[in-house]
A and B are shown apart, each in its own frame.
Chain A
Amino acid sequence: MESFENRLFDLLENQSFDQLNEDDQLFVLQHLTEKEYQSQHLLMHKSAEMDFPVVAPQPLHLPKRKNAGLLISIPLYQALMGAAAIFIGVWFIWPKESQTNTDLAQTKNSVADTIYITQLKYDTVVIHSEKTLLAKNEKQTDTVYIYEASSPSSSRMLQPGMNQPQVILDEHIIKTKGKSLKEEDVTNLLPDLPKMGL
């Protein structure tokens, strides 16, 4: 809702009291006299015709900027681009820690460690031994015939079992005889065996 001041102002700026319609005149007279309305109306229009003396302004004095070449203001995006370029350049140039440590570790290890190289060489070695070595002997098997002595069986003697072979000593068997242990060459190889008197 428009205030009465605003409505009065609109009337004052645009119309003299004589130019107002009846309703507007009645409204104005509720707040102002006709003389007051007319005075305000004239003041609003005549004030603009006032001639105020024109005074010349003094020249503008701007403060001197120190190191203006270094402190030139630049747009924010240019400052960000410059910072990003510096950051990327430092990142490429700066040596990486992992590579440096690896190089040092490798250098350190190569100086301290001793490397042993083992190679197998195959060769024939002839060993002359003073002692007689044990020769490999083959097992000889021989047939042994056992004759039973004819003598009365004693009660203390075991009765021969049934179906036992009867060993008969004859000339064939007596003639056939093997080598005695004493005649064997093997006994020469046996280390310090007591003679059995065989």
Chain B
Amino acid sequence: MVKIPHKNQTDEELMVQIMDHHSESAIIELHRRYSVRLLGYFIKMLNKDVDLAQDFVQELFLKILEKKHLFDPKKKFYTWVFTIASNMCKTAYRSKGRSVTFEPTTHDHILPQHGENRAEKALFQTALEVSVAQLEEHHKQAFVLRYLEQFSLNEIAEIAEISIGTVKSRLFYATKKVTQDLAAFDPSFESTLFKLS
């Protein structure tokens, strides 16, 4: 019997090995595949708290081992793992409330001689981060998953365990709120902040 390397196995096949044999090598392979993206998601959802986001990634993979029996091999692994991640953020948001410290991304490495566009892009990004951090948790989740993590509407519905209509409604109000905040930041942001070429 030829043993298939973990690198050539799908996410679902690796989860089956974890479920049947508690395979540590399989969970390490899944960590290699998804830890970067999950860390980026946690950083955006936890208002740029990198240390907390690192702890959440570690805790998430321990939860995968703990709740491996809840995984349905017929479904996609990445939607299941982002569901766990979203629930962890929801719990953190409810426990800490809306008074979450926000540390906007520093763009010191972007020098003025690199062009106005890059500076304006950095400025726009800072303004966007501030605005997204102040969104309601369910609006923030929909906005980050759609426009920062590029998930489809169906995947967001599966991750958040809501209907597609609810996803569209949340995205509408989230984008409406952010545009209002950007307008408050710079009334002419349409012409200045959106020079992203």
Contacts and interface: CB of A to CB of B under 8 A. Distances in A.
A49 B128 CA distance: 12
Interface stretch (B4-12, B33-41, B71-79): B33-41
Contacts of B54: 57-58
A36 B179 CA distance: 8
B39 A49 contact: no
Interface stretch (A39-47, A111-119, A160-168, A187-195): A39-47
A49 B196 contact: yes
B102 interface: no
A5 B169 CA distance: 5
B90 interface: no
Contacts of B80: none
Interface size grouping (class) on chain B: 35 or more
B169 A6 contact: yes
B179 to A, nearest CB: 4
A62 B25 CA distance: 11
A5 B58 contact: no
Contacts of A63: 62
Contacts of B190: 35, 38-39, 42
B165 A3 contact: yes
A9 interface: yes
A47 B147 contact: yes
Interface residues of A, number: 36
B20 A75 contact: yes
B154 interface: no
B22 A55 contact: no
B3 interface: no
27 contacts: A2-B165, A3-B165, A8-B172, A9-B171, A12-B175, A36-B176, A36-B179, A39-B183, A40-B176, A40-B179, A42-B190, A42-B194, A43-B182, A46-B124, A46-B196, A51-B121, A51-B125, A52-B105, A52-B125, A53-B105, A56-B36, A57-B31, A58-B54, A58-B58, A60-B28, A73-B21, A75-B20
Interface of B: 20-22, 24, 27-28, 31, 35-36, 38-40, 43-44, 50, 53-54, 57-58, 61-62, 65, 105, 121, 124-125, 128, 143, 147-148, 150, 165, 168-169, 171-173, 175-176, 178-179, 182-183, 189-190, 194, 196
Q: Give the 7 A-B residue pairs with the shortest CB-CB distance, closest first.
A: A47-B147, A57-B35, A9-B168, A39-B179, A60-B31, A5-B169, A9-B172
